[in-house]
């Protein structure tokens, strides 16, 4: 059993402490917006915020995440009000297949929280998620749109 | 900030959501007295022809048979229908009919397959007619109600107006009456000059849920009482499962069952996928790897190299004059050998399918590029007849050709069949996905060009050696043994025609089929043919002492559409002006999937091996552009896919198995490596070409030719990783 605080809610989950957080979120908490892409922290599809820091949840165990504030893509909006990154993604029509975009959006939201006006070099450094459809151009444009708003 | 309330998008999500839990597209039938049957959608709203449902609140539901996998054709197809329907675009939503329903209705929605960049081009005619048919019926219903001739009525934005009296009504109000009318036998489609919605870069219809985590992909499907399966198939293709020691994992948490899947695979079924995968990793498995375990990349390469020898048999795909004689007597000749490796599709979402089998029904929920092929796989694997099977399509986390195959669907049914009444979701690990792809075929190519004394190209011999996709996947499409698709991009005519005129030409294919299963990988045979041909064109230009663009232009007089896109790219990148200091250019063109494309790259190279791609210019002539914003994204995405394959891709074979296991050994481009892509659309009209794939053909050669311009070195094999060349 583990207690996880996800999107402001406490989940008491029947899960072993060494289970990757990704699978506890997807299968035990039932929040499937966070995606499995590689399981080895390479692709970033499983990115969530742990205490505000963009983290690849496949590489974090449940025991490491216990007691910490976890935010998934489902918890990024405030009620009916979308987060500015989600808004920009819609305005810019960023997603193609969309599978990597939960992770991409979480990574960008964390970057902008830390650095509201990132340069191209800052973006290159911070955003290392894989997108096989190739939405990078729209991702970059959307980040700059938010930064200049 | 805006509220994220978009009725249109929420409804779309609802349709997908209900499909995911099994409601699907329920069809009811009314048989009114004295009229044709009214077919109703799940919510009771009437169909106005098979493609359109109109709800009382004027919402228009457009049926989409092809699959959305990111390429945007769900939106493009809806635009085509809506253009003719004259409906209010802000009230358009879409839904997927199921393949089972389609088959039961005599394939009323036609082909479901979504590959070969055909989503729009091969259904544009009948889906537009579907929209036009519904419009005519709706107008007729309004006219009947007003007792006026339909010819006095017009429709726009879902509003029907009787011009002489000024009376108006809406689609939602006349839908019931329209549904009872006999559809017109013939409808006239709009002249392209009158299009209002086609050609507009309207926003995609599926974005909101992709930004909130609400979109349901195959991996996200949940059914009541569902269990999860992890699978391992024999890592040597063609090998078999010999045995496994179930007792070793008997007590592991969550494990429900260990099942044999066909002759080649074993799956663990557990409460969660993580438990299934953990137990599978602990399961001792013995494989019967067979003869193929002796095959390696080296042995394949050796076999393919032998095929480059003229003494070996080959199929002739394109020929004029006598290339061999002209080469023998030429003043000068140039020869080069190129190669292209296996590539994995590496969709972000690994293969998966959820199946529920009972004694009298088998249903599958999955992302598929071919609903009907998945349906056929369910029939075959379940042993049940068509009326007892169905497939519910959900969003694909990438396709790129991989999800046109149905191996994972078949596996899911084979597992579920061993657990009747329990829905089972089969999800491949990334490692399984890397080990069991349907790989871009492996080839080598020897090219010989010959010049006369005035440096005119008089002969070209292009000898391809390697794998045929059709031999493996569609042997019925071979022509006396020859794979016509092997000549994509260098064919004599058709949708992937060669763009140069050479007086003596011989293009041939020595077919050699290693045991590694090939598949349709975005761009398919255009990829390697364009790299070989366009890089060699540069070599020929250099040998002739001519500018690569000018050299090509001289050979393209009889190919005005190929030339037009090449010229468009040259103009936009400023080919006639010097590149910025330290920046070098490369150019390439090809035809594929009925479209003409060209690309030019500006790169710089540091330390001889670190490439920075600064700028890409790409042009396309697909005849008609339905949604320019989505075409732009397909062009940019093609560069990401093509350059990822060039720099980082390549699957190698050792002991009969694929060596790459995950994104750490099969990397993909990141945002820092993404060049600025500028698209130039030059639609010349009069034909319909595809846009999802052709551009990928020019991505690698444009960069490789620029690399030569920068360094004087030719790169003739892929990936660059193996030559210690990386992104800067």
Which residue of A21, A85, A105, A137 is the best one to mutate when testing the B interface, meaning the one whose CB has the most B CBs within 10 A?
A137
Contact A133 B222 (CB under 8 A): no
pLDDT at B145: 98
* Helix, strand and coil percent figures for chain B, each rounded to 5: 35, 25, 40
pLDDT at B146: 98
pLDDT tier, B24 (very low <50, low <70, confident <90, very high otherwise): very low
What's the mean pLDDT in A48-52?
98
CATH placement of domain A2-75: 3.10.20.30
Contact A97 B397 (CB under 8 A): yes
In terms of Cα–Cα distance, which of B476, B491, B350, B480 is closest to B425? B350
pLDDT top residue among B37 and A53 = A53
pLDDT tier, B22 (very low <50, low <70, confident <90, very high otherwise): very low
How far apart CA B1 and CA A84 sit, in angstroms, is 7
What's the mean pLDDT in B42-67?
96
CATH number for domain B223-290+345-435, candidates 3.40.50.300, 3.20.20.140, 3.30.365.10, 3.40.50.720: 3.30.365.10
User: pLDDT digit string (tens) for B698-707?
Assistant: 999 999 999 9
How far apart CA B497 and CA B530 sit, in angstroms, is 11
User: pLDDT digit string (tens) for B567-598?
Assistant: 999 999 999 999 999 999 999 999 999 999 99
User: pLDDT digit string (tens) for B590-634?
Assistant: 999 999 999 999 999 999 999 999 999 999 999 999 999 999 999
Q: Does B23 have pLDDT greater than 60?
A: no
Residue A125 Cα, gap to closest chain B Cα (Å): 7
Cis geometry, peptide bond prior to residue B719 (ω within 30 degrees of 0):
yes
pLDDT at B95: 96
CATH number for domain B7-212, candidates 3.40.47.10, 3.30.365.10, 3.40.640.10, 3.30.230.10: 3.30.365.10
CATH placement of domain B308-343+438-727: 3.30.365.10
pLDDT at B33: 54
How far apart CA B528 and CA B444 sit, in angstroms, is 9
Contact B671 A16 (CB under 8 A): no
CATH placement of domain A84-147: 1.10.150.120
How far apart CA B224 and CA B354 sit, in angstroms, is 12
pLDDT tier, B36 (very low <50, low <70, confident <90, very high otherwise): low
User: pLDDT digit string (tens) for B325-376?
Assistant: 999 999 999 999 999 999 999 999 999 999 999 989 999 999 999 999 999 9
Which residue of A98, A104, A129 is the best one to mutate when testing the B interface, meaning the one whose CB has the most B CBs within 10 A?
A98
Residue A98 Cα, gap to closest chain B Cα (Å): 5
Contact A96 B400 (CB under 8 A): no
B39, A112 contact by CB (below 8 A): no
B459 sits in the region (left: phi over 0; alpha: psi -120 to 50; else beta) called beta
pLDDT at B372: 97
B77, B123 contact by CB (below 8 A): yes
Give Dmax (Cα) for chain B.
84
Option in A33, A42, A139 nearest B671 (CB): A139
The residues spanned by each domain of chain A are 2-75, 84-147
- Helices and strands counted in chain B (H then E): 18, 29
DSSP state of B441: P
pLDDT at B359: 87
Is there a shared CATH topology between the B7-212 domain and the B308-343+438-727 domain? yes
The residues spanned by each domain of chain B are 7-212, 223-290+345-435, 308-343+438-727
Residue B41 Cα, gap to closest chain A Cα (Å): 27
pLDDT at B34: 53
pLDDT tier, B18 (very low <50, low <70, confident <90, very high otherwise): very low
With vertex at residue B508, the alpha carbon angle to CA B550 and CA B653, rounded to the nearest 5 degrees, is: 100
pLDDT at B68: 97
How far apart CA B264 and CA B282 sit, in angstroms, is 18
Query: Which H or E run includes B368?
Result: none
pLDDT at B2: 38
User: Can you list the positions of beta strands (E) in B250-321?
Assistant: 255-261, 265-270, 285-288, 315-320
Q: In terms of DSSP bridges, do strands A47-50 and A69-71 run parallel, antiparallel, or are they unpaired?
A: antiparallel
What's the mean pLDDT in B74-92?
98
B358, B416 contact by CB (below 8 A): no
User: pLDDT digit string (tens) for B366-404?
Assistant: 999 999 999 999 999 999 999 999 999 999 999 999 999
Residue B217 Cα, gap to closest chain A Cα (Å): 8
pLDDT tier, B420 (very low <50, low <70, confident <90, very high otherwise): very high
* H-helix segments, B544-627: 548-555, 560-573
In terms of Cα–Cα distance, which of A117, A124, A121 is closest to A146? A117
How far apart CA B414 and CA B427 sit, in angstroms, is 14
pLDDT at B37: 78
How far apart CA A30 and CA B13 sit, in angstroms, is 18
With vertex at residue A133, the alpha carbon angle to CA B6 and CA B634, rounded to the nearest 5 degrees, is: 85
Option in A81, A94, A135 nearest B1 (CB): A81
pLDDT at A7: 98
Contact A128 B216 (CB under 8 A): no
In terms of Cα–Cα distance, which of B684, B694, B451 is closest to B554? B451
Name the residue in chain A with its Cα closest to that of B223.
Answer: A30
User: pLDDT digit string (tens) for B214-237?
Assistant: 999 999 999 999 999 999 999 999
Q: Does B309 have pLDDT greater than 70?
A: yes
pTM over 0.90: yes
Q: Percentage of chain B surpassing pLDDT 90?
A: 94
Contact A134 B636 (CB under 8 A): yes
Which residues in A lie closer than 8 A to residue B727 (C-beta atoms)?
A: none
């Amino acid at each position: 059993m583990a207690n996880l605080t996800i999107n402001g809610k406490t989940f008491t989950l029947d899960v072993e402490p060494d289970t990757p957080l990704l699978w506890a979120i997807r299968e035990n908490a039932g929040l499937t917006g966070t995606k499995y892409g590689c399981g080895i922290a390479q692709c970033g599809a499983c990115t969530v915020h742990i205490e505000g820091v963009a983290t690849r949840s496949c590489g974090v165990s449940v025991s490491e995440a216990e007691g910490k504030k976890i935010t998934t893509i489902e918890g990024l909006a405030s009620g009916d009000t979308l987060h500015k990154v989600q808004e920009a993604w819609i305005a810019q029509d960023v997603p193609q297949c969309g599978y990597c975009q939960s992770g991409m959006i979480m990574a960008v939201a964390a970057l902008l929280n830390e650095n509201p006006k990132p340069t191209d070099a800052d973006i290159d450094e911070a955003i290392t998620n894989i997108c096989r459809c190739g939405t990078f151009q729209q991702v970059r444009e959307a980040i700059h749109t938010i930064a200049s708003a | 900030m805006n509220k994220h309330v978009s009725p249109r998008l929420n409804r779309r999500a609802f349709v997908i959501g209900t499909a995911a839990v099994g409601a699907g597209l329920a069809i009811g039938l009314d048989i009114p007295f004295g009229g044709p049957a009214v077919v109703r959608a799940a919510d009771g709203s009437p169909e106005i022809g098979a493609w359109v449902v109109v709800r009382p609140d004027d919402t228009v539901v457009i049926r989409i048979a092809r699959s959305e996998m990111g390429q945007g054709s769900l939106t493009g197809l809806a635009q085509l229908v809506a253009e003719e329907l004259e409906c209010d675009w802000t009230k358009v939503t879409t839904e997927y009919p199921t393949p089972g329903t389609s088959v039961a209705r005599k394939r009323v929605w036609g082909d479901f397959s979504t590959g070969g960049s055909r989503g729009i081009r091969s259904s544009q005619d009948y889906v537009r007619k579907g929209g036009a048919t519904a419009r005519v019926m709706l107008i007729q219903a309004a006219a009947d109600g007003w007792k006026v001739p339909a010819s006095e009525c017009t429709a726009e934005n879902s509003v029907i107006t009787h011009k002489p009296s000024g009376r108006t009504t809406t689609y939602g109000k006349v839908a019931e009456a329209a549904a009872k009318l006999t559809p017109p036998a013939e409808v006239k489609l709009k002249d392209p000059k009158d299009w209002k919605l086609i050609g507009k870069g309207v926003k995609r219809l599926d974005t909101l849920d992709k930004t909130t985590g609400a979109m349901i992909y195959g991996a996200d499907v949940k059914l009541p009482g569902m269990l999860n399966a992890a699978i391992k198939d024999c890592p040597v293709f063609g090998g078999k499962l010999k045995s496994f020691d179930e007792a070793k994992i008997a007590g592991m948490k969550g494990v429900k069952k260990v099942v044999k899947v066909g002759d080649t695979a074993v799956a663990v079924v557990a409460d969660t996928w993580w438990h299934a995968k953990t137990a599978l990793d602990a399961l001792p498995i013995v494989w019967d790897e067979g003869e193929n375990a002796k095959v390696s990349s080296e042995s394949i390469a050796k076999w393919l190299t032998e095929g480059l020898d003229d003494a070996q048999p080959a199929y002739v795909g394109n020929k004029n004059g006598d290339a061999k004689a002209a080469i023998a007597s030429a003043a000068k000749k140039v020869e080069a050998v190129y190669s292209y490796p296996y590539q994995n599709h590496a969709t972000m979402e690994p293969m998966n399918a959820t199946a529920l089998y009972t004694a009298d029904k088998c249903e599958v929920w999955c992302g598929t590029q071919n609903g009907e092929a998945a349906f056929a796989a369910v029939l075959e694997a379940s042993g049940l007849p068509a009326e007892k099977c169905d497939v519910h399509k959900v969003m694909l986390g990438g396709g790129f050709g991989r999800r046109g195959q149905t191996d994972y669907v078949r596996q899911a049914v084979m597992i579920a069949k061993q657990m009747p009444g329990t829905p089972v979701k089969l999800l491949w690990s990334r490692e399984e996905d890397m080990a069991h792809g349907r790989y871009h075929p492996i080839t080598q190519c020897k090219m010989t060009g010959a010049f006369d004394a005035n440096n005119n190209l008089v002969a070209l011999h292009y000898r391809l050696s390697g794998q045929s996709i059709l031999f493996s996947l569609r042997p019925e499409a071979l022509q006396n043994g020859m794979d016509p698709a092997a000549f994509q991009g260098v064919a004599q005519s058709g949708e992937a025609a060669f763009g140069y005129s050479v007086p003596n030409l011989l293009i041939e294919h020595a077919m050699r089929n290693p045991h590694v299963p090939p598949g349709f990988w975005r761009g398919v045979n255009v990829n390697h043919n364009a790299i070989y041909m366009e890089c060699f064109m540069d070599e020929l230009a250099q040998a002739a002492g001519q500018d690569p663009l000018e050299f090509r232009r001289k050979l393209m007089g009889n190919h005005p559409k190929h030339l037009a896109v090449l010229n468009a790219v040259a103009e936009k990148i400023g080919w006639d002006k010097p590149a910025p200091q330290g920046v070098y250019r490369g150019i390439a063109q090809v035809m594929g999937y009925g479209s003409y494309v060209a690309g030019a790259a500006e790169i710089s190279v540091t330390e001889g091996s670190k490439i920075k791609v600064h700028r890409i210019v790409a042009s396309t002539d697909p005849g008609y552009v339905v949604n320019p914003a989505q075409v732009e994204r397909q062009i940019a995405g093609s560069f990401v896919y093509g350059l990822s394959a060039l720099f980082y891709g390549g699957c190698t074979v050792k002991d009969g198995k694929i060596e790459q296991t995950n994104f750490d050994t099969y990397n993909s481009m990141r945002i820092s490596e993404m060049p600025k892509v500028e698209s130039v659309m030059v639609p010349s009209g009069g034909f319909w070409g595809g846009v999802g794939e052709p551009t990928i053909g020019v991505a690698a050669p444009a960069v490789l030719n620029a690399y030569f311009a920068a360094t004087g070195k030719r790169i003739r094999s892929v990936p660059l990783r193996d030559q210690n060349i990386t992104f800067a």
